[in-house]
């Protein structure tokens, strides 16, 4: 147990006392206590920065299940640390923001902060875990706590729908990832990421390499809302805004990015990884940016923009993985720029998207709506919020002097480098990458502008707002202001960030290049193609924004039925109705049908098994002779049996069953079993008497008209059962492998003092059977007594009446 | 003899199965009884029915019939009787309470 363990588990431990604080100290907003937790984690994690910047890493292990190679080992390197800093840093700001956002009086704050703390531990666990099983554990905990947070206002139908959707999709991905983890465990015979990566070179040839890669990517794509799994993210916007800002822009949706980045040293450098990650990333980037433009709800717009930006980062990680193909050298360095752009944008996105969500939350909180059609003209009323929104949006659009500009320039550099690749069949399709990236960036520009202009410019429409708009309290403005300050600071001082944060991150994604690079991020790098691309974006984007009304209608031409959400909904409904149909089809409620299944399956399994094993063989050498007496008995037996089946009189049926029983007793006599014959005679008599007593109260046997006549399917099934039993009996008879052990009982007199061997067995050698058989009789007797005597409430009432 | 017995057992099983699949609860009870008889005879046959003296040591015979299957059958008869008794009473009670012995009507509950 190290300090790192303590700080990662601190939110979890703190979650236990949150409800107590909420109940005992109702005067102080619970958030004030909670804010200490992420802040202390942030400060603690900052102490690692010098060590990480120096190129060192640290590992802390706590054994958990050593027998299965599972231990809670936390590994600190550039990648994990930056994620940890983002989680705890933005976590602090979000808690601070939520103190002002959520009312102390109206909201169930204890639930909120407990879920939030659960999530924080889960997320920290994901990014620091070195053990894959532990990683998966925390991974699912993020899904669960996210589910709880989305449905925080559980009385709303949309919240529940969004939570369920997010749960189903991310858990689906989680299971895929678990499968991948198990495959990796099989491949490398270890669950430790470090040990696995050490064997990376040998495992590329393993047959499970590609399946594990695909399953792992499904897990990462579902969590990071990549196409076509992005559909849960817009619906997750039903969560309170602090949650949207924290989980669905800065942290949880980046868990998939983290996993892709973490496994790049292992899977990267192969064509499949390059194309899957880059392709899905670019598709998500384009699709998200196209759809974001059409949204009228500010949070939905931000949700699609998050989807799009996550695709941006993902595609860069894919492009950067080409560096691993080259290993070392100039080309590797060239493509490592893409990885730098990815991690750089990851940090940038966390800052500006977090602040944008908070600003939207402020607008929502102070006006009562997030609908762009109702908003407008808030510029003079909420000047600080406007400034923050402008900084965030322009950074998102990729304009100077904000950090988004730098990472977007690097992105274009990455795409241009990638398009000039001559591996992985890039010479054919490579030119597409910068084109898609550029188009998506134009749309990114448009929706960023929409966000600011539709909200803060135009006409103020107080009559359409639920509240009179006014500026937010300072407590709500400080967290986004800090993030906005970071946005600007990173632009002016990118290399400080680069030296301390980004280079260790790139080093952990591309370990082969560790210590060999010295990136220098420049805002101005001359008249390069990237600059012209940015100018093009601004020009085309402005033109398109001004003509927005003219082409907005194009979106309506897209049929609703073709959307992915529609496919998801109808798929879910379809699965429900199909499973309902399947169940209804075979679960009829008739015991006769179930008995048919049982008999048919019995015949099929036993019959086909014997047939396949070629076990039907008949041995006639050892059979005993038949005498006339036995033939007569057999005929009577057959006759009586037939009568039971055929007769429509219950008395005849009972008598025939009695005859049957007595014939069986006679068979026992013939086959030299005197005890059996005695018992059988006595019991048969009692049974027939019982039948007669009972049948007096029962209705007649069914008549033919009642539909219980000769039934062909039943007869076929019954015949099959009978024939099969006969065949099994005959086959078994010929295959007596060992002599019976009954010679032992010949000594019954010496051993047990009994001349009757059967009785000696029953009462001496195998007396336990007899004891339990007595119990059976006792229980049966008690059962009969209870059934007859005890009447349930309903019966009693009837009797009293 | 074993072949004859095997065929008889087969017939008993056919009849028992056919009755168990019937609609009337009564026939099902009768069917289980017949299936029980079939099982008893099957046990006895499988034990081997080579002629020998009954398993009583006082008879001074050289070969005896195998006593072990007989002991098993004796246990089976008694248990068979116990379950049949309970089954009959359940049939009787359900007819009394529910007013039918038609298996098609005895289907499902309101709580489903």
Domain-wise residue ranges, chain B: 1-98
SS3 content of chain B, % helix, strand, coil (to 5): 70, 5, 30
Which residue of B50, B60, B70, B109 to mutate against A (max A Cβ within 10 Å)?
B70
Q: Does B35 touch chain A (CB under 8 A)?
A: no
The complex's ipTM works out to 0.94
Residue B13 DSSP SS3:
helix
Chain B hits for A622, CB-CB cut-off 8 Å, are: 50
pLDDT band at A704 (very low <50, low <70, confident <90, very high): very low
Count residue pairs from A and B with Cβ separation < 8 A.
273
- Give the DSSP H or E segment for A466: none
Predicted pLDDT of residue A681? 94
Mapped onto helix, strand or coil, the DSSP state of residue A131 is strand
Sign of the Cα torsion A334, A338, A343, A347 reads positive
Closest A-chain CA to B10: A722
Going from the C-alpha of B92 to that of each of A408, A653, B89, the distances in angstroms are: 83, 17, 5
Residues of A within 8 A of B22 (CB-CB) are: 592, 702, 708, 711, 714
Interface membership of B105 toward A (CB under 8 Å): no
| Rg, chain A, Cα only | 38
CB burial readout A245-276, b (16+ within 10 A) else e: bbbbbbbbbbbbbbbbbbbbbbbbbbeebbeb
| pLDDT at residue A797, as a whole number | 53
Q: 3-state DSSP call for residue A111? A: helix
The tens digit of pLDDT for each residue in A146-203 reads 999 999 999 989 999 999 999 999 999 999 999 999 999 888 888 888 888 888 778 8
- In angstroms, the CA A260 to CA A326 distance is 19
What residues contact A394, with CB distance under 8 A and at least 6 apart? A402, A404, A448
d(CA A503, CA A497): 9
Cβ separation A591–B103 shorter than 8 A: yes
Contact B55 A653 (CB under 8 A): no
Contact between B57 and A748 using a beta-carbon 8 Å cutoff: yes
Which pLDDT does position A380 carry in this prediction? 81
Residue in A459, A480, A482, A479 with CA at minimum distance from that of residue A469? A459
Q: Is B52 left (phi over 0), alpha (psi -120 to 50) or beta?
A: beta
**Lowest-confidence segment of A468-472, A652-656, B41-45 by average pLDDT:** A468-472
Q: Do B73 and A676 touch (CB under 8 A)?
A: yes
Cβ neighbours of A631 in B, within 8 Å: 4
3-state helix, strand, coil in chain A (%, to 5): 75, 5, 20
Is the bond into A401 cis (omega within 30 degrees of 0)? yes
Q: Which of B68, B17, B3, B73 is nearest to A731 (CA)?
A: B3
CA distances from A263 to A196, A220, A277 (A): 10, 11, 12
- In this structure, are residues A384 and A456 in contact, taking their beta carbons and an 8 Å threshold? no
Q: Write down the residue that tokens 């060999």 correspond to.
A: A516
DSSP string, A575-601: HHHHHHHHHHHH--S-HHHHHHHHHHH
Q: Which tops the pLDDT comparison, A562 or A683?
A: A683
Once rounded to an integer, what is the mean pLDDT over residues A523-535? 75
> Is the pLDDT assigned to residue A528 strictly greater than 60?
yes
DSSP string, A726-754: HHHHHHHHT---S--GGGGGGGHHHHHS-
Whether the per-residue pLDDT at A706 is higher than 70: the answer is: no
Beta bridge partners of A60: A74
8 Å CB contact between A541 and A449: yes
Confidence of residue A597 (pLDDT cuts 50, 70, 90): very high
DSSP-derived letter for residue B55 is S
From chain A, the residues in CB contact with B97 under 8 A are: 795
Q: What is the mean pLDDT of residues A555-581?
A: 83
Q: What is the pLDDT of residues A299-330, one digit of tens each?
A: 889 999 999 999 989 998 888 888 877 777 77
Q: What average pLDDT does range A28-40 have in this prediction?
A: 90
Residue A270 has pLDDT above 80, yes or no: yes
Q: Which residues of B, range 45-104, sit inside 8 Å of A by Cβ? A: 45-58, 64-68, 70-71, 73-75, 77-79, 81-86, 88-93, 95-97, 101-104
Contact yes or no for A733/A619 (Cβ under 8 A): yes
Of B19, B15, B27, B34, residue with least CA distance to A649: B27
Which of A654, A694, A736, A775 to substitute to test the interface with B, most B CBs within 10 Å? A694
Alpha-carbon distance A76 to A59, whole Å?
Answer: 6
B38 touches chain A (CB under 8 A): yes
Q: Are A774 and B81 in contact (CB under 8 A)?
A: no
Q: Mutate which of A722, A739, A774, A786 to test chain B, going by most B C-beta atoms within 10 A?
A: A722
With helix as H, strand as E and coil as C, how does A279-293 read?
A: HHHHHHHHHHHHHHH
Cβ contact (<8 Å) for A623 and B1? yes
Contact A441, A308 (CB under 8 A): no
Which ranges of A671-747 would DSSP assign to H, the alpha helix? Answer: 674-695, 712-733
Q: Which of A484, A521, A300 is nearest to A402 (CA)?
A: A484
The pLDDT of residue A552 is above 90: no
> In which band, very low, low, confident or very high, does the pLDDT at A622 lie, cut at 50, 70 and 90?
low
Residues 13-32 of B with CB under 8 A from A: 13-27, 29-30
Short-list B101, B99, B89, CA closest to A700: B101
- What tokens appear for A472 in the block? 């937010």
Q: Which residue in B17, B31, B93, B20 sits closest to A717, CA to CA?
A: B17
Do B57 and A757 make contact, defined as CB atoms within 8 angstroms?
A: yes
Closest-CA residue of chain A to B5: A634
Question: Residue A50: CB partners within 8 Å, gap ≥ 6?
Answer: none
The closest alpha carbon to B23, from A655, A721, A593, A717, belongs to A593
Element spanning B43, H or E: helix B25-46
Percent of chain A with pLDDT over 90: 28
Which of A44-48, A458-462, A586-590 has the weakest average pLDDT? A458-462
Rounded-to-integer distance, Cα A378 and Cα A398, Å: 24
Please give the angle made by the CA atoms of A230, A232 and A233, to the nearest 5 degrees.
Answer: 75
- Å between B63 CA and nearest CA of chain A: 10
DSSP A609-657: HHHHTT------TTPPP--HHHHHHHHHHHHHHHHHHH---HHHHHHHH
Residue A554 pLDDT > 80, yes or no? no
Chain A residues within 8 A of B37 when measuring between CB atoms: 660-661, 664
Question: What is the structure's pLDDT at A774?
Answer: 94
State the pLDDT confidence band at A450, using cuts at 50, 70 and 90.
confident
Per-residue confidence at A705, pLDDT binned at 50, 70, 90?
very low
Contacts (Cβ under 8 Å, ≥6 apart) of A146: A119, A166, A170, A236, A247, A252
Q: Cα-atom radius of gyration of chain B, to the nearest Å? A: 19
How far is Cα A126 from Cα A139, in angstroms, rounded to an integer? 6
Torsion of CA A474, A477, A483, A489, to 10 degrees: -70
CA atoms within 13 A on the CB side of A469: 25
Residues B66, B52: Cα–Cα separation, whole Å: 9
Residue A418: is its pLDDT beyond 70? yes
On the question of pLDDT at A515 being above 90, the answer is: no
Residue A308: CB partners within 8 Å, gap ≥ 6? A284, A285, A286, A287, A288, A289, A292, A440, A443, A444
Cβ distance of A664 and B40 shorter than 8 Å: yes
Structure confidence at residue A700 (pLDDT) = 59
Nearest Cβ partner of A624 from B2, B89, B95? B2
- The fraction of chain B above a pLDDT of 90, given in percent, is 37
Question: In DSSP terms, which residues pair with A62 in a beta bridge?
Answer: A72
How many Å apart are CA A655 and CA A665, to the nearest integer?
15
* C-alpha closest to that of A74 among A59, A86, A88: A59
Q: What pLDDT does residue A798 have?
A: 55
Among A324, A55, A373, residue whose Cα is nearest residue A204: A324
Backbone angles phi, psi at A106, to 5 degrees: -95, -20
d(CA A43, CA A594): 66
Name the residue in chain B with its Cα closest to that of A735.
B46
pLDDT, position A170: 92
Element (H, E) at A76: strand A70-76
β-pair partners for B56: A756
Q: Which of A269-273, B58-62, B68-72 has the lowest mean pLDDT?
A: B58-62
Question: What is the per-residue pLDDT across A474-487, written as a single tens digit (0 to 9) for each?
Answer: 888 888 888 888 88
Considering chain A, what is the average pLDDT of its residues? 85
| Range in A680-694, A722-736, B14-28 the model is least confident about | A722-736
CB atoms within 10 A of CB A9: 15
Contact A645 B84 (CB under 8 A): no
pLDDT of res. A125? 92
Give chain A positions within 8 Å (CB) of B6: 726, 729-730, 733
Contact assignment for B55 to A657 by CB distance below 8 Å = no
pLDDT digits (tens, 9 = 90+) for A650-702: 788 888 999 999 999 999 998 888 899 999 999 999 988 888 887 777 665 55
- Shortest distance, CA A569 to any CA of chain B (angstroms): 27
Residue A592: closest C-alpha in chain B: B21
Hey, are the CB atoms on A745 and B55 less than 8 Å from each other? yes
- A762/B74 CB distance under 8 A: yes
Provide the token pair at A71: 């231990």
Which residues does chain B have within 8 Å of residue A718's beta carbon, measured at their own beta carbons? 13-18, 21
Nearest CA in chain A to B33: A657
- CB-CB: which of B13, B33, B55 is closest to A657? B33
Which residues in A lie closer than 8 A to residue B10 (C-beta atoms)?
A: 722-723, 725-726, 729
Please give the Cα distance from A203 to A538 (Å, whole number). 47
Question: DSSP assignment of A57-73, as one string?
Answer: -EEEEEEEEGGGTEEEE
Chain A residue numbers with beta carbons less than 8 Å from the beta carbon of B13 are 718, 721-722, 725-726
Burial class (CB in 10 A: 0-12, 13-18, 19+), B90: middle
In this structure, CATH architecture of domain B1-98: Orthogonal Bundle (1.10)
Do B89 and A783 count as a contact with CB atoms less than 8 A apart?
Answer: yes
A284 pLDDT more than 60:
yes
**How many Cβ atoms sit within 10 Å of the Cβ of residue A190?**
16
In sequence order, the 6+-apart residues with CB closer than 8 A to the CB of A312 are A281, A285, A345, A411, A440
Distance of CA A273 to the CA centre of its chain: 23
């Amino acid at each position: 147990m190290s300090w790192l363990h303590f700080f990662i588990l601190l939110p979890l431990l703190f979650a236990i006392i949150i409800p107590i604080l909420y109940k005992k100290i109702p005067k102080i907003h619970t958030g004030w206590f909670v804010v200490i937790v992420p802040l202390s984690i942030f400060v603690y994690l900052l102490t690692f920065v010098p060590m990480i910047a120096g190129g060192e890493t640290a590992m802390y292990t706590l054994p958990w299940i050593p027998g299965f190679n599972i231990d809670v080992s936390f590994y600190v390197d550039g990648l994990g640390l930056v994620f940890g800093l983002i989680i705890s840093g933005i976590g602090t700001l979000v808690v601070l923001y939520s103190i002002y956002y959520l009312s102390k009086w109206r909201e169930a704050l204890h639930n909120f902060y407990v879920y939030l703390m659960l999530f924080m531990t889960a997320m920290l666990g994901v990014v620091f875990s070195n053990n894959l099983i532990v990683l998966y554990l925390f991974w699912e905990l993020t899904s669960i706590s996210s589910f709880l947070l989305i449905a925080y206002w559980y009385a709303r139908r949309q919240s529940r729908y969004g939570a369920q959707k997010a749960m189903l999709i991310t858990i689906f991905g989680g299971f895929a990832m678990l499968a991948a983890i198990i495959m990796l465990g099989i491949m490398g015979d270890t669950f430790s990421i470090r040990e696995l990566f050490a064997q990376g070179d040998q495992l590329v040839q393993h047959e499970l390499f590609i399946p594990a890669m695909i399953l792992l990517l499904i897990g990462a794509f579902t969590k990071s809302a990549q196409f076509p799994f992005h559909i849960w993210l817009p619906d997750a916007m039903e969560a309170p805004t602090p949650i949207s800002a924290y989980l669905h822009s800065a942290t949880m949706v980046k868990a998939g990015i983290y996993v892709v980045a973490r496994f790049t040293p292992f899977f990267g450098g192969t064509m499949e990884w390059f194309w899957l990650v880059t392709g899905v990333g670019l598709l998500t980037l384009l699709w998200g940016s196209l759809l974001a433009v059409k949204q009228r709800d500010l949070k939905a717009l931000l949700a699609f923009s998050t989807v799009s930006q996550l695709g941006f980062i993902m595609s860069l990680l894919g492009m950067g993985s080409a560096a691993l193909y080259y290993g070392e050298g100039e080309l590797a360095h060239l493509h490592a720029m893409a990885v730098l752009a990815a991690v750089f944008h990851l940090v940038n996105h966390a800052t500006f998207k977090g602040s944008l969500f908070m600003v939207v939350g402020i607008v929502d909180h102070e006006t009562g709506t997030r609908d762009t059609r109702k908003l407008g003209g808030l510029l003079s009323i909420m000047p600080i919020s406007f400034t923050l929104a402008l900084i965030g949006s322009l950074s998102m659009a990729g304009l100077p002097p904000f950090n988004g500009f730098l990472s977007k320039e690097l992105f274009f550099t990455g795409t241009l480098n990638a398009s000039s690749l001559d591996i992985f069949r890039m010479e054919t399709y490579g030119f597409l990458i910068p084109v898609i990236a550029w188009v998506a960036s134009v749309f990114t520009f448009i929706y960023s502008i929409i966000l600011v202009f539709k909200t803060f410019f135009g006409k103020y429409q107080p009559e359409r707002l639920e509240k009179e708009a006014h500026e937010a309290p300072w407590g709500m403005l400080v967290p986004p202001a800090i993030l906005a300050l970071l946005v600007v600071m990173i632009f002016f001082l990118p290399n400080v960030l680069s030296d301390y944060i980004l280079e260790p991150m790139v080093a952990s994604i591309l370990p082969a290049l560790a210590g060999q690079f010295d990136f220098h991020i420049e805002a101005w790098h001359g008249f390069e193609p990237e600059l012209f691309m940015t100018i093009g974006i601004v020009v085309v984007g402005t033109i398109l924004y001004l003509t927005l009304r003219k082409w907005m209608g194009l979106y309506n031409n897209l049929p609703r039925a073709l959307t992915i959400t529609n496919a998801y909904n109808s798929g879910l409904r379809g699965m429900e109705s199909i499973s309902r149909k399947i169940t209804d089809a075979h679960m009829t409620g008739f015991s006769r049908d179930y008995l048919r299944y049982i008999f048919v399956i019995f015949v099929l399994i036993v019959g086909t098994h014997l047939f396949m094993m070629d076990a039907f063989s008949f041995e006639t050498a050892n059979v005993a002779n038949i005498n006339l007496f036995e033939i007569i008995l057999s005929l009577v037996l057959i006759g009586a049996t037939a009568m039971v089946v055929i007769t429509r009189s219950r008395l005849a049926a009972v008598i025939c069953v009695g005859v049957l029983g007595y014939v069986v007793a006679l068979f026992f006599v013939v086959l030299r079993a005197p005890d059996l014959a005695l018992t059988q005679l006595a019991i048969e008599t009692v049974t027939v008497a019982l039948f007669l007593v009972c049948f007096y109260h029962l209705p007649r046997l069914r008549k033919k008209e009642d539909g219980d006549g000769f039934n062909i399917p039943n007869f076929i099934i019954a015949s099959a059962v009978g024939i099969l039993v006969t065949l099994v009996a005959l086959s078994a008879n010929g295959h007596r492998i060992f002599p019976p052990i009954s010679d032992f009982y010949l000594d019954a007199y010496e051993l047990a003092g009994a001349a009757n061997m059967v009785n000696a067995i029953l009462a001496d050698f195998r007396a336990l059977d007899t004891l339990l058989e007595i119990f059976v009789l006792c229980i049966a007797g008690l059962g009969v007594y209870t059934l007859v005597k005890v009447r349930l409430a309903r019966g009693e009432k009837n009797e009293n009446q | 003899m074993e072949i004859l017995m095997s065929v008889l057992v087969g017939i008993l099983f056919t009849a028992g199965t056919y009755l168990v699949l019937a609609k009337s609860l009564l026939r099902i009870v009768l069917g289980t009884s017949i299936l029980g008889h079939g099982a008893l005879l099957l046990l006895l046959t499988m034990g081997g029915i080579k002629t020998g003296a009954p398993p009583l040591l006082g008879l001074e015979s050289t070969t005896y019939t195998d006593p072990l299957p007989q002991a098993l059958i004796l246990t089976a008869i008694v248990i068979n009787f116990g379950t049949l008794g309970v089954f009959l009473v359940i049939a009787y009670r359900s007819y009394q309470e529910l007013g039918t012995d038609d298996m098609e009507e005895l289907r499902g509950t309101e709580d489903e």
